[in-house]
Amino acid sequence: MPSEIRRSAPLLIIILVAGLYAGYAISTFAGPPARSDYLAERVSSLEGAVAALQSQINSLEQRNSTDQGGASLNAIYSASKDSIVTISGLVSSSPMFGIYSEVLGSGFVVNLTGECLVVTNYHVVDGMVNASMTFIDGEAYPFDVLGTDKYSDLAVLRPHAPESKLKPLTVVSSSTLLVGDSVVAIGNPYGLQSTLTSGIVSQLNRAIKTESAGSYTIAGVIQISAPINPGNSGGPLLDSQCRVVGITTAIISGSQNVGFAVPSDTIVREIVSLATTGSYQHSYLGITGVSNSYLISQVLGLPLTYGVLVQAVAAGSPAHHAGLSGGSFNVTIAGSDIVGGGDLIISIDGRPIVTIDDLTSMLDAYLPGQTVSITVLRGGENVVLQAALAARP
């Protein structure tokens, strides 16, 4: 219907304008002057209305052209709602007194192993008992936890549900995402089943800390503006083609529209191991570091304002065996304690390292046992070191 209106609108405008000018011409030559002035004013007014209508038509055509690359929000929701589940169960809130509280989260069906499984967050099912997953039609089923990875906040579940209920979503590589791309999050915030929110990709390759990951960070995370709340955790992050590009995982308390999603590349990389062995081994370098900055470089006399300044190297770690050096003296910069004198990591396998997020995300893409070339700035010179990555302890 809208396309038919757009096609017929130019013809209507031509007929309308022709009729108005014909009426104006007849009035001018046959009617009194007062009437002619009145019709002239009406024609002028209607000409403005026609111009406004044409502008609206042009805007609609432009929007239609833009939207051809993606589905509407309603179409995305309609195509995905049957694949998204509510995860619920009990978690002990007071082990001593045997008190349990209900926990809610989200999950979604995928088929990346030849079997339809449900993916959710580790923190959703961690310690959960009497657990079930509920589909949008209200039917609920128990499930088995096949594997978990607290360092990526992922869990893979096998539902005890009929095969007809399991409708997998399409998963694509998150490496195709660009900052500014439209994304949609669907989940169950505060138990409000099947809620859709939309936004954009605010940034890529973030590294965030969560309670479940301990001292490590979750790497390669997508920052999004789509509003997410407790209960959204484990739901899919979809692109404009209704394809999974991530799994919503965390928010910053007190922030507005700052959310995070584990990238789909992490799901694809880990799901076979999680489903078959119950776990996934992350690579390990064995350093602590901080992102270099203009202020740090000025205080420490570094010629570069980017890179990762090595603070300490764990004994016996791959970094130790590769010869990386930590700092040797302490200094307080803008209220933060920094250890100076260590190596400044500036690239991995020739790819630049700007911040600690870059380093974490890049290393997470390697497997234990692989060797990487690390370029560091040491004593004003670039030094290339070889590090054989190990499994994270």
Domain chopping of the chain, boundaries: 2-68, 69-277, 283-391
| pLDDT tens for each residue of 324-369 | 999 999 999 999 999 999 999 999 999 999 999 999 989 998 999 9
Q: Is 282 a catalytic residue?
A: no
| pLDDT tens for each residue of 8-52 | 444 444 444 445 444 444 444 444 444 455 455 455 455 545 555
Specify the CATH number for 283-391; select among 3.40.640.10, 1.10.1200.10, 2.40.50.140, 2.30.42.10.
2.30.42.10
d(CA 310, CA 34): 88
- Per the residue annotation, which of 27, 123, 240, 283 is the catalytic one? 123
Radius of gyration of the chain (CA): 29
Give the Å distances, CA to CA, from 124 to 60, 113, 297, 376, 382: 43, 22, 41, 40, 45
Pick from 36-45, 55-64, 148-157, 368-377: least confident:
55-64
Burial of 258 (0-12, 13-18, 19+ CB in 10 A): middle
b/e sequence 116-130, b meaning 16+ C-beta within 10 Å: bbbbbbbbbbbebee
Q: How many helices (H) and strands (E) does the chain have?
A: 8, 23
- Per the residue annotation, which of 149, 153, 239, 265 is the catalytic one? 153
- Per the residue annotation, which of 174, 233, 240, 283 is the catalytic one? 233
* 69-277: CATH architecture: Beta Barrel (2.40)
165: which DSSP letter?
G
Q: Is 123 a catalytic residue?
A: yes
Query: How crowded is the C-beta side of 31, counted as CA atoms within 13 Å?
Result: 14
Average pLDDT in the 224-250 region? Answer: 91
Q: Is 233 a catalytic residue?
A: yes
